[in-house]
Amino acid sequence: MKRSQIKKRPMSDTTLSNLESEDKDYRELDGNGLYFFVQKNGNKSWQLRYKKPNGKWAWLGLGGYPQIGGELARKKAQELIADIGKGENPIITKQERKAKELEENNATFEALAKEWIDTKQNTWVADTLTRNRGALEKHIYPTFGKRLFVSIRPIEWMEHLKGIQQEHKIYEQVKRIRTMCRDIYDYAKVTGRIDYNPLEGLHKFLESGKKENMAHVDEKELPPLLRAIDNYPTPDIRIGLKLLTMLFCRPSELREAQWHEFDLDEGLWNIPEERMKKRREHIIPLPTQAVNLLNELKSIRGESEYLFPSRSNPNKPKSDTVFIMALRRLGYEGRQTPHGFRHIASTLLNNKGFDERHIEAALAHVKDGVAGVYNKAQYLNDRKHLMQWYADHLEQLADDTVIQFKKA
């Protein structure tokens, strides 16, 4: 169809589809400043002619045809004309609408990441979920959150992650962030939205930094630390620190513990699977010292279901920094972390010749697969002996009236 044969405007879809190209590019007015642009190579698109604040005329592309049909193009043009009437920049408002449209269609990196995080709700414990979501919000979303995830190039990811390493010196955290972002793209890949992962192989070009364990004192420094904990002035925090030392559980497992998990008559603590890192229930045999501490704690606590309720809201546990701050007040900042008590227990028990299987079970280092499921409740009697020996040993170390002899 020749453009000379156009009989009415706005043009019908039949007219738009059948318009032929010519030796030169040309525009045909559809109405109200909206033009249909036909190139000599046959490509067709929409353009809006508008007047800038300085009085000069300019063109603004609205998208290609037939992806953008006549009805949609006219709607977009009306929105932009209304924006111009309000004194707004049509280019900026067009970009804002595009970003909103991408977000609504789950095409931005932030939308994809949130969709991926939803798949982890039943896999991650609450602390992991909060930590990983926070890392993305702080380090990734401000730069890439509103970007179309298929448009972010590998070089951009490498430069951004290297920049975080150089600025903050958080090598292990950047490693976790990179792993998360890679997994987010893997999720997009298996759901049919991309064909390749732009973070594949990136780890080879990032600094690894110095790998550090959770800070913990050596065996010689342990007795004064235990005595310092014995003299901590706040009763419930003192009990919490002592329980951490003798039960060597993860700090979050104790901080979020609820009374219904304990059978003090039987001397057992059953941590439900939803609170465990590996999503498997974990039974801890309680030494007599721990049972006594828990009974003491119960007598000084209120009606909260938590062992360590928040002061401002008894229906929530204390902050995740409560034990960190306590050790800092004792003068052990950078020398001992709450998690470091697990390293101390593992080293000490292995050095004393306890069965490695029993130690690993006590640490909740469970094997993956069928073997892990089968073994989850094994060694309970052996672990009762292990836990009681360890509590007794710590008690002796803390008693400065007991002379400690080394073997010849």
Q: Are residues 86 and 126 in the same domain?
A: no
Do residues 301 and 236 lie in contact, with contact meaning Cβ atoms separated by under 8 Å?
yes
The CATH number of the domain where 55 resides is what? Answer: 3.30.160.390
Residue 367: the pLDDT is 60
The pLDDT of residue 136 = 95
Q: Which residue is listed with tokens 């640490």? A: 363
- What pLDDT, on a 0 to 100 scale, did the predictor assign at position 240? 95
Q: What is the pLDDT of residue 212?
A: 47
**Residue 75 domain boundaries:** 3-91
pLDDT at 282 over 90: no
Q: Do 294 and 384 share a domain, yes or no?
A: yes
Assigned domain for 392 exists: yes
Residue 98 pLDDT > 80: no
Radius of gyration of the chain, Cα coordinates, nearest whole angstrom = 32
pLDDT attached to residue 275: 83
Is pLDDT at 142 greater than 50 in this prediction? yes
**Mean pLDDT over all residues of the chain?**
86
pLDDT, mean of residues 212-235:
87
In a domain, 363, yes or no: yes
- Residues contacting 37, CB < 8 A, separation 6+: 25, 26, 27, 44, 45, 46, 47
Residue 126 shares a structural domain with residue 192: yes
| Confidence label for 368 from pLDDT (cuts 50, 70 and 90) | low
Percent of the chain's residues with pLDDT above 70: 88
Asked if the structure places residue 212 within a domain, the reply is no
Residues 189-195: what's their mean pLDDT? 87
- Of the pLDDT bands very low, low, confident and very high (cuts 50, 70, 90), residue 203 is confident
Higher pLDDT, 210 or 65: 65
Q: Which residue has the higher pLDDT, 344 or 376?
A: 344
CATH number at residue 136: 1.10.150.130
Same domain, 36 and 185: no
Is there a single domain that holds both residue 326 and residue 182? no
Does residue 392 register a pLDDT over 70? Answer: yes
Identify the pLDDT of residue 403: 47
CATH number at residue 358: 1.10.443.10
Same domain, residue pair 368 and 266 = yes
What is the number of domains present in the chain?
Answer: 3
> Is 216 within a domain?
no
The beta strand positions in 118-174, using DSSP E, are none
257 with 363, same domain: the answer is yes
Overall pTM surpassing 0.75 (yes/no)? no
pLDDT over 70 at 382, yes or no: yes
Question: Of 177, 205, 233, at which residue does a domain stop?
Answer: 205
State pLDDT tens for residues 306-348: 999 988 888 888 888 899 999 999 999 889 999 999 999 999 9
284 shares a domain with 198: no
pLDDT at 97: 61
Higher per-residue confidence, 206 vs 164:
164
Angle between helices 235-247 and 340-351 (to 10 degrees): 40
β-strand partners of 47? 35, 61
pLDDT beyond 70 at 278: no
Residue 114: pLDDT above 70?
A: yes
Q: What are phi and psi of 265, to 5 degrees?
A: -70, -40
Instruction: Flag whether 63 is in a domain.
Output: yes
> Above pLDDT 90, what percent of the chain?
53
DSSP conformation letters of 280-301: S-EEEEPPHHHHHHHHHHHHHS
Whether residue 408 is predicted with pLDDT greater than 50 in this model: the reply is no
Q: pLDDT tens digit string along 1-34?
A: 999 999 899 999 999 999 999 999 999 999 989 9
**Together in a domain, 238 and 340:** yes
Domain end, chosen from 31, 61, 91, is at 91
Tell me the helix, strand and coil percentages in the chain, rounded to 5.
Answer: 50, 10, 40
Do the domain assignments include residue 315? yes
Domain boundary among 205, 235, 266: 205
Considering the domain architecture, whether residues 58 and 160 belong to the same structural domain is answered as no
**166 and 313 belong to one structural domain:** no
Q: Residue 79: its pLDDT value, please?
A: 87
| Residue 161 covered by a domain | yes
What's the CA gap between 176 and 154, in Å, rounded? 17
Task: Provide the pLDDT for residue 375.
Answer: 52
Q: Is residue 149 located within the same domain as residue 198? A: yes
Is residue 405 included in any domain, yes or no? no
